[in-house]
Each structure stands twice: as structure tokens, then as C-alpha cells.
Amino acid sequence: MVGCGGGSTAPATCLQVRPCGGDVVGTWSFLGECSNVDAANELSDCSLLSGVSEALTGLLTFNADGTYTVTNWHQTYARTVSAPLTCSGASTCTAGNGTTTSSSNGETVTATTNCTGTSTCVCHVASTWDVTTASGSYGATSAGLSVIGGPLASSFAYCVEGNQLHLMQTVNVITTNPPTDRNIILSDIVAQRR
């Protein structure tokens, strides 16, 4: 799988499906997620991403009335970011080291950052995000899925293909030399219909 990083345990179809729309109503079990590391590095101005490992479990229910619920959401994410100190805006590479935990509305996020270096910072970042239950609303068209509230709050390109749902973050890249217009998938959350 191109660009998913060595530690990812994403489903085989992660980053392999193009946006296609479809009917999201029903209950879905998260199979995992992945990030397009190659694209992230191509689009970055000064940092280099590597060593990406991510996982997502839990249940997602889209109701016919435009509401949704997630239960037992557990997300883990780890990565290494290398960048010149001048890109970070910090005075030293180690200025942001440490662990932070925040809890609000039944959600707990813990993040640990460990950076080394002097002129070039190499940062190892690991985080977990746990949600017992959360809800919100959504709207779906053939062009995209807009989710309001809860841990999924974002706009996605999406595809329901067979019994799998793909929620994708995309970016449109236009270049002049050579002239191209590409829609790149940056990340993909994959779920299985229950």
C-alpha cells in the first residue's frame, strides 16, 4: 500500500478506493485507518513525515434522520516528524516535549511528544483518543459527507463499496509545470457494515 508507513495495520482497501458516494445509513464497525505519507511529504513546505502507525476501533451509526452516533471509539496514532527548528516556531527542539491529557464531554485525548536535535528537530509523537459515546448530525450528497459534532466532525469525500465505507480526506492539487489537476486522498477511515 503506497505511503501508509511501516507500522500501520490498516485494511487492505485503505487508500485504494476513489470517492463514489452511496448510502451511509446503518451501523458500521471501524476496521482501521491510514494516511498517505507520500502525499503529505509532497505537500509539506518543510517537514518530513515517517514511521506512521495508526488504528481505529469502535462503532459508527448513521441514522436516516440525519443524526449519527459513535460508541467505544478508540484511536491511536504515532508518527515521526523531522523539520528544521526554524519551521517549528519554538526556541529549541525540546520546548514542546512532554505528555498532555485533556478530557471533556466523555472524550479523553492523550498526546506525548519527544523531540531531539538542535538545528533539525526529530519529533516522535504518539496519541490516543477515547470516546465512550458521542453524537452529532450529518448530511450526505454524491459529492461529500459533512459531519457536525463528535469525533468525526469534518467534511469527507466518501464511498460505500459493497459492505465497506471509506471516509476520505482529500486535497485538490493544481500544478503548472507540467500542467496537472489531481485530487489526492490524504487519509482514509475504513468501516464494515454490520
Handedness of CA 156, 106, 164, 42 (dihedral sign): positive
pLDDT of residue 5: 42
Nearest to 76 by CA among 44, 101, 53: 53
Residue 132, pLDDT above cutoff 50: yes
Query: Percentage of residues in the chain with pLDDT exceeding 70?
Result: 94
d(CA 140, CA 58): 21
Q: Which residues pair with 140 in a beta bridge?
A: 145
- Of 8-12, 32-36, 64-68, 161-165, the one with minimum mean pLDDT is 8-12
> What per-residue string of b and e applies to 39-57 under the rule 16 or more CB within 10 Å gives b?
bbeeeeeeeebeebbbbbe
Q: Give phi and psi for 57, each to the nearest 5.
A: -130, 165
Residue 1, pLDDT above cutoff 50: no
Residue 112, pLDDT above cutoff 80: yes
d(CA 70, CA 154): 14
Residue 4, pLDDT above cutoff 80: no
pLDDT tens profile 51-94: 999 999 999 999 999 999 999 999 999 999 999 999 888 899 99
